[in-house]
Chains A and B, each alone.
Chain A
Amino acid sequence: MVPMERGHLHPITQTIREIYAVFYELGFEVALGPELEYEYYNFDALNIPADHPSRDMQDTFWIKEGLKDAQGGVKNVSGTDFPGRNLGRRLLTTQTSAVQIRFMESHKPPFRVFVPGKVFRNEATDATHEAQFYQVEGLLVDRNVSLAQLIGTLEHALKKLFGEKSEMRFRPSYFPFVEPAIEGDLKWKDKWLEIVGAGLVHPHVLRAGGLDPKEWQGFAFAFGIDRLVMLKHAIPDIRLLYNGDLRFIDQF
């Protein structure tokens, strides 16, 4: 008989594996989080308070009221239950950063965490925007953490992924959960493409995670995976990633 033909991994999985291989070498362990998240973890604890314009930076899928968790508790990644604190409304997680707080609450620093996950934005879809997409998040917490370490880590990762010659540049930006905040661009066919958002963990966020900012510092970053996958394979339409068509998936 003909030997069994191997199947194909989704290109998003392939890229996440490829990125994790780099961060594994740097000592990052994997953490996973829920997709149905609480307002507290997704926003408040990340220094994005209610009634603040920074909430507009991410269009959110809120869950219809009346379905609040009866216990007011939430099952954590590691299975711990947090007692009845007000976690707010439920939503589809808009950023893997939500896992930062969950991890800090249940682990002692120093640590390095890598969080792959599906996230959601309430935005009209077109060839470059989907209501769901993948991110990978990195979080490092230690005693002395600097922007130079963050930049060094990102440059290292991008070189591993896109070749030793790849060029990166960093610009100031704003994400409420980091301070300072930066964005990293990758030079791709003579054009600079925004590829990673990052920064030093904001003291409010460390505090929300139960850590003393006088003792602990951190950096965090997040890549949008879909964008990387599209670049790498010259995929013109993001929707090809989610229609389950093997004519597409079996190409990779």
Chain B
Amino acid sequence: MKISHNWLQTYFDEKIPAPLKLAELITFHSFEIEGVEKVGNDSVIDVKVLPDRAHNCLCHKGIADEIAVMTKQALKSRAAKAVETDRETKPDIKIEDKVFCARYMGRCVEIDPIKASPPWLKNFLTALGQRSIAPMVDAANLVMFDIGQPMHVFDADKVKGAITVRAAKQGEKITLLDGQEISLTPDDFLIADDEGPLGVAGVKGGKRAEVTPSTKRLIIESAHFNPIAVRRTATRLDIRSEASKRFENEITPELAPLAMNNVSALIKEICPEARFGPIIDVYLVKAVQTVIDFDPAYADQRLGMKVPRDEAKDILTRLGIAILEKDDRWSLTIPFERLDLRIPEDIVEEIGRIYGYDHIKGVLPEKIADPLVLAMFYLMEHIRSILISAGFSEVSLYTLVPKGEIEIAKPLARDKAFARKNLTDGLLVCLEKNVQNADLLGLEEIKIFEIGHIFSREGESVMLGLGAAQVKKAKGVSSEKVISATVSLLGNELRTPISKHKITADGLHTVTELNLDEIVKEFKPGVSYGDFNFEPASNNRYAKISPFPFITRDIAILVPEATEVRVVWESVLKGIKKAGALELLVRHSFFDMFKKGNETSYAFRLVFQSMDRTLTDVEANKIMERINEEIEMEKWQVR
């Protein structure tokens, strides 16, 4: 909700705190602030009003009330001076469903057509990010942004017969103010006349009785509509208007008269020639004020701090709550607009937040017995530790995938339309992606695992997925062997037989999944998590991954038998330095050595990659040439 600092000031005689200071006060006592922006000579504070306070705080008055409570500054009354009733015309109002419409106030007004709203009104709307539409509409909107009551104005000459609040008929159509034609159902409610719909109640006005620059006679609406019904209609039609947003959060019907009074005064101000008929008020279901029986000691107990009794009383009084004291208990009469205050806990919050949570001194709850071990959690953590020691790294992949059995009603994208039915598909893709980067990772085999949930029509299971891939074919090793050895290892370490597990293999990659919901049935966890020696968590800063491809070069060097590998590597490094390519060397390894006569061969793998460009073969060749030069200078031989 955008709040104008200048407009807030009109609620007070005293100067209110400057915008940033005010924003800070609001942050610590009421709401999160999303931003403070200078607009002309005004500042606009964007206040994040959550649903609990949207009953009365989606407007300047609500925020002004909060400020008055925080700063103890006196509020000025917002009731404008009532306009004189100097016409007899009055609207005929019929409410067919009092559950939907508890109150409807209407008033006829004659005006001289005026072209534009006065600059101050336009500026106010602009500051809030709204546009000026027509003077009478602007007036109604101003009242909504000011005190929170959505209003509507109809062109009275286009209304035929009585204003009726009723359920729509199946398939009944209406063209909205924005020209959109929509079809309604009996769950939607209308403002209608003898000819049909005039507007979708609480959501959006209709085109037929739209107020235009030539409008001479108005009917003003100030009403209360059922929050659930308005929300359902707004949701179904996917129309979220400023009005529906307020109605769906529920507003007290007691607000309607103030809105009618203020909009009348505003119209009179904009258009001094305006003539007003009497206010017709159909009030079928009277609002009842909440009374809460409150023990002030309860606030101290729940907050865990002593708020001086007088202070607590003062806070509640400033909030407009009437206190009746009797035998150490308070009977609290809640203002109509505070529909969020219903139970003693709500009062605890009011006292706590206004007094200030910074007064609370934190204490630790008393120690209790050591916690019980949850077998599944113990199992998962145990498996993680075993697998890490066995050289597996843990991945966490996406639950939402293109195919599966459990379908999402409104997916973000077609390739995220199902909850995964296995871990295997994700792990296979993941293995292959990592195989591509094997040189960069310095790995000859990729070994990964994931612990995650899978979903089928039968339900949900917690699975362990294991994946292995050989980067290059080598004798005696295969990803199948790695996986079966790992499953045996797990069985031994967990002292739990692992019988069923499906293996998916495609030559290079092997993946298997173990059902932890099954394994946990046989598994005997330790008596405490103290058995685990969790390694301290990594504190490493993330190092950016280059998006550019890397180039791998192997080099084997034949040297006299006694030459140490370190000495050979230094020469290689010297060559790279001379090529000015030290920062391109992202990984190197010493991967082979053998003796031949009185000579030794050392083989190194060099991986080059740039953070800012694609390296070319030409560049890599140049680096290798420099290395060769170094090797030749040592009278060694590149094989």
Contact = CB atoms under 8 A, between A and B. Distances in A.
A1 interface: no
B391 A51 contact: no
Nearest to A201: B345
Contact of B392 (A7, A24, A169, A203): A7
A140 interface: yes
A56 B231 CA distance: 11
Interface in A54-99: 54, 56-57, 61-65, 67, 75, 92
A173 B48 CA distance: 10
A8 B394 contact: yes
B388 A21 contact: no
B27 A149 contact: no
B545 to A, nearest CB: 5
Given A30-B374, A151-B362, A35 B394 contact: no
Interface residues of B, number: 102
A191 interface: no
B305 to A, nearest CB: 6
A147 B360 contact: yes
Contact of A27 (B50, B353, B368): B368
B447 A21 contact: no
A106 interface: no
A244 B434 contact: yes
A221 interface: no
Contacts of B367: 26-27
A64 B232 contact: no
Contact of A180 (B349, B368, B426, B447): B349
Given A28-B371, A35-B460, A122 B410 contact: yes
Interface stretch (B170-178, B317-325, B399-407): B399-407
B348 A180 contact: yes
Contacts of B412: 122-125, 131
Contact of A53 (B51, B408, B452, B539): B51
Contact of A174 (B51, B364, B447): B51
Interface string A221-251: 0000000000011111000111111111111
B17 interface: no
B81 interface: no
Nearest to A130: B398
B590 to A, nearest CB: 10
B12 interface: no
A153 B365 contact: yes
B304 A34 contact: no
A208 interface: no
Interface in B361-385: 361-365, 367-374, 376-377, 381, 384
Contact of A234 (B376, B406, B537, B542): B542
A12 interface: yes
B553 interface: no
A6 interface: yes
Interface string B407-436: 111111000100100000011011001100
A172 B399 contact: no
Contacts of B389: 4, 6-7
B61 to A, nearest CB: 20
Contacts of B427: 244
B358 A169 contact: yes
Main secondary structure on A side of the interface with B: mixed
Given A14-B537, A233-B541, A75 B459 contact: yes
B460 A34 contact: yes
Contacts of B349: 172, 179-181
Contact of B460 (A36, A112, A142, A181): A36
B545 A248 contact: yes
B518 to A, nearest CB: 12
A7 B447 CA distance: 8
B231 A51 contact: yes
Nearest to A54: B51
Interface string A151-172: 1111110000000000001111
A13 interface: yes
A85 B388 CA distance: 43
Q: Which of B50, B343, B391, B392 has the most CB of A within 10 A?
A: B50
A46 interface: no
A52 interface: yes
Given A118-B453, A172-B30, A200-B345, A6 B302 contact: no
Contacts of A243: 433
B282 to A, nearest CB: 25
B364 A235 contact: no
Contacts of B1: none
A176 B357 CA distance: 19
Interface of A: 4-15, 17-18, 21, 24, 26-32, 34-36, 51-54, 56-57, 61-65, 67, 75, 92, 110, 112, 118, 120, 122-125, 131-132, 140, 142, 144-149, 151-156, 169-174, 176, 179-183, 200, 202-203, 217, 232-236, 240-252
29 contacts: A7-B388, A7-B389, A9-B388, A12-B396, A13-B396, A24-B529, A34-B453, A35-B453, A36-B419, A36-B460, A57-B51, A63-B419, A64-B408, A131-B400, A147-B302, A148-B361, A149-B363, A172-B349, A174-B51, A200-B348, A234-B541, A241-B396, A244-B427, A246-B441, A246-B448, A247-B441, A249-B393, A252-B538, A252-B540
Shortest 7 CB-CB distances between A and B: which pairs? Answer: A148-B304, A146-B304, A152-B362, A180-B349, A29-B371, A244-B430, A174-B50
Given A8-B393, A26-B367, A31-B374, 19 more contacts: A4-B391, A11-B537, A18-B537, A30-B377, A35-B419, A36-B455, A51-B227, A51-B232, A57-B51, A67-B407, A92-B408, A118-B453, A131-B400, A147-B357, A174-B51, A200-B345, A244-B395, A246-B437, A252-B538
